[in-house]
């Protein structure tokens, strides 16, 4: 009788496998296998024709002259290349000329997209026919006021140069506001570093801000900024673990987002037990540590205190856009809070991420499995690094007690664990 079970987790284009002690293994979990839409194009047309609490785009376009379309970047699987032709068609039916339509990639603090990435995201024909811009959160931006709690609002000046602003993105569980999508295409998508950092740092003040939260100060801030910046209309998709679109919502930013969240909870909610060892993949957001560490927030919900998290990630871009992330995480929560209160760090956004990461690091042990990570990045930390998933599992299991439990989670960066 076999005493082990085999698991397989995605890592880039490959699957990594490992054998797990059968008596301790309590299950392999994944986001819902919700069937993709049978005809995505028809559903896009339907959602645009009958938007949620909004006039159709054609009607909105007739009252304006220039339209700006905000599109998320390649860290999201939103099929913008399929959605954009239908959105642009509606705008042109509303008498907005091609030369008065622009596309802005809502990068937040992520790196600029390369030309081939832009072409993939929006499609060759649209890239060649319309002006496409990368947002730069460090560039001089337009100041348009403050939020109710005093956050200064700096946005890309293109928003004020266009009188119709449309956001195309996706709805996913998110650590810093509960759910992505909706107004997030503006904040942080096309805002300045001071604005972005202030909202992210709310996780140090409001404990209700967590994966899956539908009411918190960060979400309120994001919606306020988006409304002030002039976001008129959103098109948001919900996709499954394979990246296939399972649903789509369009309309007024807040009500359409709320309806999208209701749909997304059914896809991303994963009922699973607490565990002593959690093995999970950072798929599908695993290009760098900045993205892959999102999986730690899902892990935090299901790992027992003092347990071990084994994170599988491709990390072809290394640590990512914020090189001080690991160094700051190792300072610990108390020291990070002192720095945050004194604003002693230029990259305050990185401080927010370090704070959230340090919460996990102080709660459980972390190992990373990757072939693309420079070991020196993790020197001086308690984080283990492995190139073999089996080696990481064997090391973790060498400390197993008879009643310790092990679970695996396939899509760590988009899952919303719900503890049984």
Q: List phi, psi (to 5°) of 270.
A: -125, 110
At residue 123, the pLDDT reads 98
- Report whether 270 contacts 417 (CB < 8 A): yes
Instruction: Name 309's Cβ contacts closer than 8 Å, sequence gap at least 6.
Output: 278, 280, 296, 299, 303, 360, 364, 365, 366, 367
Pick from 418, 413, 417: nearest CA to 77: 413
pLDDT digits over 138-195, tens only? 999 999 999 999 999 999 999 999 999 999 999 999 999 999 999 999 999 999 999 9
Q: Predicted confidence band at 86 (pLDDT cuts at 50, 70, 90)?
A: very high
pLDDT digits over 353-368, tens only? 999 999 999 999 999 9
Other CB atoms within a 10 A radius of the CB of residue 379 amount to 10
Inter-CA distances, 63 with 93, 94, 209, Å: 12, 8, 38
pLDDT digits over 300-320, tens only? 999 999 999 999 999 999 998
Alpha-carbon gap, residue 396 to 278, rounded angstroms: 10
Which DSSP state fits 23?
A: T
Alpha-carbon gap, residue 417 to 7, rounded angstroms: 19
pTM of the model: 0.93
Alpha-carbon gap, residue 380 to 329, rounded angstroms: 11
The rounded mean pLDDT for the chain is 95
Other CB atoms within a 10 A radius of the CB of residue 122 amount to 25
Please state, for a pLDDT cut of 90, what percent of the chain lies above it.
Answer: 92
Q: List phi, psi (to 5°) of 5.
A: -125, 150
Other CB atoms within a 10 A radius of the CB of residue 121 amount to 24
Pick from 153, 416, 111, 413: nearest CA to 283: 413
Helix (H, G, I), strand (E, B) or coil at 232: strand
Helix (H, G, I), strand (E, B) or coil at 381: coil
Half-sphere exposure of 347 (CA within 13 A, CB side): 13
Instruction: Name 98's Cβ contacts closer than 8 Å, sequence gap at least 6.
Output: 92, 129, 130
Q: Predicted confidence band at 1 (pLDDT cuts at 50, 70, 90)?
A: low
| Residue 269 tokens, joined | 């909610």
């Amino acid at each position: 009788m076999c005493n082990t079970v085999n698991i397989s987790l995605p890592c880039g284009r490959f699957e990594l496998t490992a054998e797990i002690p059968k008596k301790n293994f309590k299950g392999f979990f994944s986001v819902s296998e919700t069937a993709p839409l049978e005809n995505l194009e028809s559903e896009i047309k339907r959602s645009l024709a009958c938007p949620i609490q909004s006039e159709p785009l054609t009607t909105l376009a007739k009252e304006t002259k220039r339209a700006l379309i905000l599109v998320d970047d390649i860290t999201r699987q939103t099929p913008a290349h399929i959605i954009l032709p239908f959105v642009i068609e509606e705008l042109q039916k509303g008498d907005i000329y091609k030369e008065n339509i622009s596309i802005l990639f809502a990068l937040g603090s992520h790196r600029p997209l390369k030309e081939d990435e832009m072409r993939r995201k929006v499609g060759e024909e649209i890239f060649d026919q319309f002006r496409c811009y990368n947002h730069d959160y460090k560039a001089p931006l337009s100041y348009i006021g403050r939020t109710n709690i005093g956050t200064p609002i700096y946005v890309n000046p293109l928003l004020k140069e266009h009188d119709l602003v449309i956001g195309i993105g996706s709805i996913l569980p998110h650590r810093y506001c509960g759910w992505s999508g909706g107004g997030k295409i503006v904040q942080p998508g096309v805002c300045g570093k001071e604005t972005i950092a202030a909202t992210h740092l709310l996780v140090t003040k409001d404990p209700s801000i967590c994966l899956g939260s539908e009411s918190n100060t960060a979400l309120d801030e994001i919606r306020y900024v988006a409304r002030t910046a002039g976001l008129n209309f959103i098109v948001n998709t919900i996709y499954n673990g394979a990246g296939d679109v399972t649903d789509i919502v369009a309309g007024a930013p807040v009500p359409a987002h709320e309806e999208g969240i209701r749909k997304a909870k059914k896809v991303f909610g994963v009922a699973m037990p607490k565990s002593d060892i959690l093995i999970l993949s950072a798929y599908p957001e695993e290009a760098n540590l900045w993205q892959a560490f999102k999986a730690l927030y899902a892990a935090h919900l299901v790992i027992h205190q003092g347990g071990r998290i084994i994170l599988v990630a491709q990390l072809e871009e290394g640590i990512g856009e914020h090189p001080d992330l690991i160094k700051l995480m190792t300072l610990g929560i108390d020291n990070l809070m002192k720095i945050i209160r004194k604003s002693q760090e230029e990259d305050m956004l990185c401080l927010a991420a370090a704070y959230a990461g340090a919460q996990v690091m102080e709660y459980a042990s972390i190992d990373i499995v990757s072939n693309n990570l420079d070991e020196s990045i993790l020197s001086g930390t308690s984080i283990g690094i492995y190139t073999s998933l089996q080696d990481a599992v064997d090391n973790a299991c060498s400390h197993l007690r008879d009643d310790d439990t092990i679970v695996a989670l396939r899509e760590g960066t988009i899952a919303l664990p719900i503890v049984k």
